[in-house]
Amino acid sequence: WRSGGTQRLAKMVEPRDEDADAALAASAAGLALHAVVLDDFKSYSGRVVAEFNSRGIIAIVGPNGAGKSCLVEGICFALGLDLRSMRAQNLKALVNRTGRDDGVACAVSCVFRARSGAGALCVQRRAIAPADGPARSEFRVQSCSCGSFGWGVEHDQLPWPCDQCEVRVARRSELKALLLRELQLDVDRPDTFVVQQSACASIAQQTPLELLCFIEDFARTAHLRRGVEAEAATVGRLRASLAALGASLSRACAERTRRSPALDAAEELEACRLRLEAAKGAHLRLEIHHLSRAAARHEQAKAALHTALEAARGALQASRAREKEAAEA
């Protein structure tokens, strides 16, 4: 931590859990919280910068009143959460006026940076709360993808990470859509990414199953569980189908065993029928052969008879001719 004036600071501890670091490094390269800049926000007087340089688990520890909860509330404030998440009745209660009478504004900026590659996002919410007028807040956003990330405590453009990309004023609805798209955070459902101290007691009283569902919703892994449950249901249906198919196959085998003698007799009858058909075919071919030979002999006799008839007719004609000649003579 680097302070711009506060006397009460928490201590940031960064455990070197190599397994956690490796798991986070292997995760999808998205935007991760890089730093929080608080200006006169609640217990923080002046500018306080908290940098989160570790990719592992970050623990913030300190005595009561050191500002641990205030840091989380500042993040909630910057992301546009309701004032109830900051234990405040109105915007004026968020402004630190310590040692000054002219303190009328506070601001909290959250800087997100890509885990790998270029890309940064800065979200700032500023509360303007004059003592003699109504309070209001405004959001400003800078989305950087040009790669000229130059953020640091000594950076001239603090808290904005880039001096090239535009800083624009945004409505809360625009901020909500941006956070949902870039960070998968639904600011209308803060219970999915932040746990308030007031909710710890009720969470501790949950059953193991309720606690598991709560953690899954918080870690955004409920869809994975639903996917596993759907796959398990599919596997169950497939197993039931296989069991039904096995039962049908067993019944078919039992029925075949029961009908085996009849099936053998039917097969023998079918074999006899085939042999009979073969015999009939052989007999028919033999009959056709005999008829063909008889027809051939008949044709031969017919031809011989025709030849003899023609010869007799010729002899008769010759005999008549001779008789006629004798009569004329």
Residue 68: its pLDDT value, please? Answer: 87
- Per the CB < 8 A criterion, the answer to whether 108 and 77 are in contact is yes
Residue 200: its pLDDT value, please? Answer: 77
Residue 100: its pLDDT value, please? Answer: 62
Report H helices in the chain.
Answer: 18-26, 68-78, 172-182, 200-204, 208-219, 222-258, 260-328
* DSSP three-state, residue 213: helix
- pLDDT tens, position by position, 268-306: 889 999 999 999 988 999 989 889 998 898 989 899 898
Q: In the chain, which residues have pLDDT < 70?
A: 1-29, 54-56, 99-103, 117, 147-157
Residue 243: its pLDDT value, please? Answer: 92
Residue 157: its pLDDT value, please? Answer: 64
- pLDDT tens, position by position, 128-177: 888 777 888 999 999 887 766 665 545 556 788 777 888 899 999 999 99
Residue 253: its pLDDT value, please? Answer: 86
Predicted model pTM: 0.59
Tokens of 131: 């003592």
Residue 175: its pLDDT value, please? Answer: 92
- In this structure, what are the phi and psi dihedrals at residue 78, rounded to the nearest 5 degrees? -65, -35
Residue 2: its pLDDT value, please? Answer: 37
Residue 215: its pLDDT value, please? Answer: 82
